[in-house]
Copies of this chain bind each other. A is one copy, B any other.
Amino acid sequence: MPSAKTSSESPQAADPYRKLGAAKLFKIHELMVRARLLEERLIKMSKGGDGFFWIGGPGEEAFNVSLGLQVKKGRGVDHDFLHLHYRSSAIVLAMGAQPIDSLRQMRSVATDPYSKGRSFVNHYAIAEFNIVPVSPTIETQYSTAIGTGIAQARAKTDAVTIVNGGDAGTAEGDFHSCLVWANRPVLPLPILIIVVNNGWGISTKGETQHGERNISDWAKVFPGMPGKTINGNDVAESWGALEEALAYVRKNRKPYLLEARCSRLYGHSSSSGANRIPEADSIEILESAMTSRGIAAPSDFAKVWEREARALDEAHQQVKSEPFPEGDSAWQDVFADGLPPSYPVKGGS
């Protein structure tokens, strides 16, 4: 009988870290380290003149890797669509993207597969993964998410749309549009609406501008819409919350609002110095959780950090040897059917 069952469940088994299991924890750890080292390398490049502006996601690894690993990855409406922003590197790496491609975008070399040297680093566009073009315009991804959400609401599939962005951006009307459209009675949308709350918009403290107790409280407007706020610096909590939220959206074909509280470990961007800030570090938290449970020894982690650093060194060497784009590459990709012969191309007379 149930009571027996419950009591038979050992405290160990109830522990969310043990539930995840050693293999998965090591996998997650490796990806978090990869993401962290990548961002730190990008910062170095930005400061060292090997590229320009940096913006990225150090601090969000626990939540973002947990998300990336649970995405139904692929192309087309039968796979999840992702509408991301500029702090999403760990999501994309967890899905299988290669760090070298981010180095390419940072150095804006011709081989940058995401933008041909046109966009800032961490502005992804990966058709094979349904990762739609990351736009620098804050919050517009919450409006474009409506469209892939509609396509998936029409299709017979369990695939969903996932949108993420920051806390300050929720002041924009696009966040409102996403909530209203996702809850349309005639066609609710299967969208996991994520807000990563790091407490800041550049230099502006969230609590000075936002009267909501939790950003997830916006779900209260819609009867039955789930809204939840979690600690996004904790792998187990993030994994569990994402598992629950994704399961809900896949099954019910309705929206779910998930707020993850995360650290912003190097400040806003290179414009604000990109120096390490004393905030909770999701990787330290994971490592101590694993060691304290005897799942791993410090030496295991050392190997990972070292291996990932070496791989990054090699990738960086490779990228330095790659050519920059030609000026007139600007004329590629203007129109899908090519540039019309009489299109003005001189920049004036």
Contacts and interface: CB of A to CB of B under 8 A. Distances in A.
A229 to B, nearest CB: 13
Contact of A209 (B176, B185, B218, B221): B185
A180 B171 contact: yes
The quantity of this chain's copies bound in the complex is 2
Contacts of A173: 172-174, 176-177
B209 A184 contact: yes
Contacts of A211: 180, 183-185, 188, 222-223, 225
A175 B218 CA distance: 14
A210 interface: yes
A106 B223 CA distance: 43
A78 interface: no
Interface string A219-242: 011110100000000000000000
B207 A212 contact: no
A321 interface: no
17 contacts: A171-B176, A171-B180, A172-B176, A173-B173, A173-B174, A173-B177, A176-B176, A180-B209, A183-B210, A183-B211, A184-B208, A184-B211, A185-B207, A185-B211, A211-B222, A217-B221, A221-B221
